Amino acid sequence: MKIQIKKMISNISHDLRTPLTSMLGYIELVLNDNTLSEEEKRKYIEIVYNKGNHLYSLMEEFFQVSKLESKDVKLDIRKVNISEIIRQNIISFFNELKKRDMEPQINIPEEDIYAFGNEKAVNRILSNLINNSLKYGSEGTTIGVNLTYDKNNVFISVWDNGVGIPKEEIDYVFDRLYTVEKSRKLNLKSSGLGLTIVKKLVEALGGTISVSSIPFEKTAFTFTLPKKQK
């Protein structure tokens, strides 16, 4: 437990300190280097702006997790069109997928499938899972979303053929500030909170979530939503 806490603190420190240090460096350069052209100054200011946005997103995720853990979030549960939410999420990630030469593969029934949930929460769950696959998926491979159902539940699976999750780490993927150790070595931007938010939102909607992984073959996150209101 002490080792996990130390690692968590180290990860927080890294995620906050790295962009802040970089931002301060660029600001100092713009303030003190009189040889910079206006174009160069604008370029550096844009970099600072983007890093500031990243920090803002990071802090928003901290607050989101805190609210979910304190039970302050009250979700309006109603019947939602899961098929349409999946389609819209894939469309919203189209440019990122294209940049990385990643092919989306959507396997959903022809008829629209509905479940009980909260549209904003389901969008956040799918967005976080697809974004996670983008980070860890390999260029030129596939990101897939599958939708199946039985009489009680809808099953949504988001998968990729990326680096995957080592067997010894798979039990910790939903822990706060967890990131696959390899991602830090590769300097992938990740707060380690995205999957924590996913799990807490799924549970708030009355569902469950699981993960399976064979590195560089298939890593799949599958969550359920009830077809009947509880």
Ordered structural domains, the chain, with CATH:
2-69 (1.10.287.130), 78-226 (3.30.565.10)
How much of the chain, in percent, has pLDDT values that exceed 90? 42
Residue spans of beta strands (DSSP E) within the chain: 78-81, 103-107, 114-117, 142-149, 153-160, 209-214, 218-226
What is the reported pLDDT for 60? 74
Q: Is the pLDDT of residue 207 over 80?
A: yes
Residue 230, CA atoms < 13 Å, CB-side half-sphere: 11
pLDDT band for position 75 (cuts 50, 70, 90): confident
Distance CA 114, CA 77 (A): 12
According to DSSP, the residues that pair with 148 across neighbouring strands are 155
pLDDT exceeds 50 at position 187: no
Report d(CA 175, CA 165) in Å as an integer. Answer: 14
Q: Are 223 and 208 in contact (CB under 8 A)?
A: yes
Evaluate whether 125 touches 86 at the Cβ level (below 8 Å): no
CA pseudo-torsion sign 57, 58, 63, 68: positive
Residue 1 has what pLDDT?
Answer: 46
pLDDT tens for each residue of 51-70? 887 777 677 766 666 677 66
The pLDDT of residue 6 is 56
pTM: 0.73
Report the range of poorest mean pLDDT among 98-102, 108-112, 145-149, 175-179. 175-179
With a cut of 70, say whether residue 188 has pLDDT above it: no
Please name the residues in contact with 199: beta carbons below 8 A apart, sequence gap of 6 or more: 174, 209
* pLDDT given for residue 126 in this prediction: 95
